[in-house]
Amino acid sequence: MTFSTINARAEEAAKKPAFREALKKRHCLAPADAFYEWQHLGAKSKRPFAFAGLWESWRPKDGETLESFTILTTEPNEVMAPIHNRMPVILEPKDYDCWLDAGDQEKPPVDLLRPFPAERMRAWPVSDRVGNVRNNDPQLLEPAP
């Protein structure tokens, strides 16, 4: 059986069996400096940032233990709304420690799972080369002609 859990809706994670325990205890950061949305528009900050994530260690019925993670998503801000109905939860650097500290497992820091400020983001069209996994070069971030 295959599970595709690269993204999880922040507002639903506490209710989903695949994410419930990880939301209580196993937070992570997924470093990035840009992300793509499949409408061929990229969003980039001027500095590296981190997505709020959850990790899990589990064992399928017939197999070895797997370690996996998911990126939490939230409602889009004003930059992302015309592009997609979701966006990754981007954490402020000042909130990294709070997110990573499991703290009170019955009250995870869900207040951090909000849209990133739109005024601190940029978006632009990129080449359709982004859609091919064989392409992996810095030019993918350049604006399309």
Query: How many domains does the chain fold into?
Result: 1
pLDDT digits (tens, 9 = 90+) for 8-31: 888 888 888 888 888 888 888 988
User: Would the pLDDT of 51 be above 90?
Assistant: yes
The band of 107, judged by pLDDT with boundaries at 50, 70 and 90, is confident
Instruction: Please state the rounded mean pLDDT for residues 129-138.
Output: 90
DSSP designation for 144: P
Task: Report the phi/psi class of residue 111: left, alpha or beta, with left for phi > 0 and alpha for psi in -120 to 50.
Answer: alpha
Q: In which domain, by residue range, is 86 found? A: 7-131
Instruction: Please state the rounded mean pLDDT for residues 30-36.
Output: 83
CATH number of the domain encompassing residue 83: 3.90.1680.10
Structural domain contains residue 44: yes
Structural domain contains residue 145: no
The answer to whether 145 touches 125, Cβ cutoff 8 Å, is no
pLDDT digits (tens, 9 = 90+) for 79-93: 999 999 999 999 999
pTM of the entire structure?
A: 0.79
